[in-house]
């Protein structure tokens, strides 16, 4: 659950006196979008993102000698974000999730109490964790049943599945548009779910048509 377990520890960093071309090259080579800026003893002083680089490079005059000369003089310290948002190794992935959603920042340098850089955690790390948690890498079949939000429902569902001798890959529960209900998504490690579907129907659960599934709670602001 801890950020320390999901973060990337081999961080690609950059020095504040490096030029922006070096930053761009590093990002391209490693296919990353954020470079923490550190001192010799791994103290974090800033972060530079690909957006910072693009803002520094105006589209017009791209090839003019004057612009190139001006750009060559630009150092990381001139364009970086000083004192960026950071997260601690002992924060949890949920903390990272909520923080990322709130701040709209794609990656956080992970620093300890002494301000030393320990790693970096990005949206990609969270995606990887989500794929793992959903069990998507195992072969199986997803189902969706709508149940009333009340005590004991999960046990009934799990018992029904166990009686059919089926294993779980994962189970997700999403808030449903009807507040008194939940959409339960068991991911079952079997090809043959028909007996189970019949069972759920007989238990009075609504087995939802796949074209009606959704797990996103809030309507997007269109």
Partner 1 sequence: MKKTGFLFDERYLLHETGSYHPEVPARLQAVYQGIKEAGLLARLTLIHASLSDLKWIEAVHDKEYIKRFEMACVTGKSTFDCPDNQICPATYETALLAVGGILDATRLVMNAEIDNVFCAVRPPGHHAEINKAMGFCYFNNVAIAARYLQKEWGIKRVGIVDFDVHHGNGTQHIFEDDPNVFYYSIHQHPSFAYPGTGREFEEGEGAGLGFTKNSPVLPGKEDSEYKRLIKRDLFPVFESFKPEVIIVSSGFDAHVDDDMSDIKLSTEAFSWIIKSVVEMSDKYSNGRLISVLEGGYSLKRLPELAKNHVEILLDYK
Task: Give me the residues that bind partner 1 (CB under 8 A), please.
Answer: 136, 138-142, 165-167, 189-192, 194-195, 209-211
Nearer to partner 1, 5 or 212 (CB): 212
- The tally of CA atoms less than 13 A away on the side-chain side of residue 51 is 5
The pair of structure tokens assigned to 181 is 């209900």
Nearer to partner 1, 58 or 195 (CB): 195
Cα 48-94-38 angle, rounded to 5 deg: 25
Q: How far is the CB of 161 from partner 1 (least distance, A)?
A: 12
The pair of structure tokens assigned to 116 is 């030393």
Q: How far is the CB of 105 from partner 1 (least distance, A)?
A: 27
Q: How far apart are CA 107 and CA 120, in angstroms?
A: 7
Nearer to partner 1, 191 or 221 (CB): 191
Nearer to partner 1, 88 or 170 (CB): 170
Q: How far is the CB of 188 from partner 1 (least distance, A)?
A: 9
Residue 114's Cα: distance from chain center in Å?
A: 26
Nearer to partner 1, 9 or 167 (CB): 167
Q: How far is the CB of 138 from partner 1 (least distance, A)?
A: 7
Q: How far apart are CA 83 and CA 80, in angstroms?
A: 9
Q: How far apart are CA 51 and CA 106, in angstroms?
A: 11
Q: How far is the CB of 8 from partner 1 (least distance, A)?
A: 23
């Amino acid at each position: 659950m801890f950020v320390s377990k999901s973060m990337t520890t081999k961080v690609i960093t950059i020095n504040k006196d490096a030029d922006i071309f070096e930053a761009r090259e590093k990002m391209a080579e490693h296919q990353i979008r954020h470079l923490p800026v550190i001192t010799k003893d791994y103290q974090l002083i800033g972060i530079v993102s690909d957006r910072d680089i693009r803002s520094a490079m105006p589209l017009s005059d791209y090839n003019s000698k004057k612009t190139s000369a001006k750009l060559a003089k630009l150092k990381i310290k001139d364009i970086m974000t000083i004192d960026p948002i950071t997260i601690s190794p002992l924060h949890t992935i949920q903390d990272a999730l909520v923080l990322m959603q709130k701040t709209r920042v794609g990656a956080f340098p992970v620093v300890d109490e002494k301000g030393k850089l320990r790693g970096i955690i990005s949206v990609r790390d969270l995606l990887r964790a989500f794929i793992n948690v959903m069990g998507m890498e195992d072969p199986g079949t997803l189902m969706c049943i709508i149940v009333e939000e009340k005590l004991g429902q999960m046990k009934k569902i799990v018992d029904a599945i166990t009686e059919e001798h089926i294993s779980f890959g994962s189970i997700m529960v999403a808030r449903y548009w009807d507040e008194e209900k939940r959409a339960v998504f068991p991911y079952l490690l079997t090809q043959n779910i028909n007996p189970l579907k019949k069972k759920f129907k007989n238990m009075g659960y609504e087995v939802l048509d796949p074209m009606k599934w959704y797990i996103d709670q809030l309507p997007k602001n269109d």
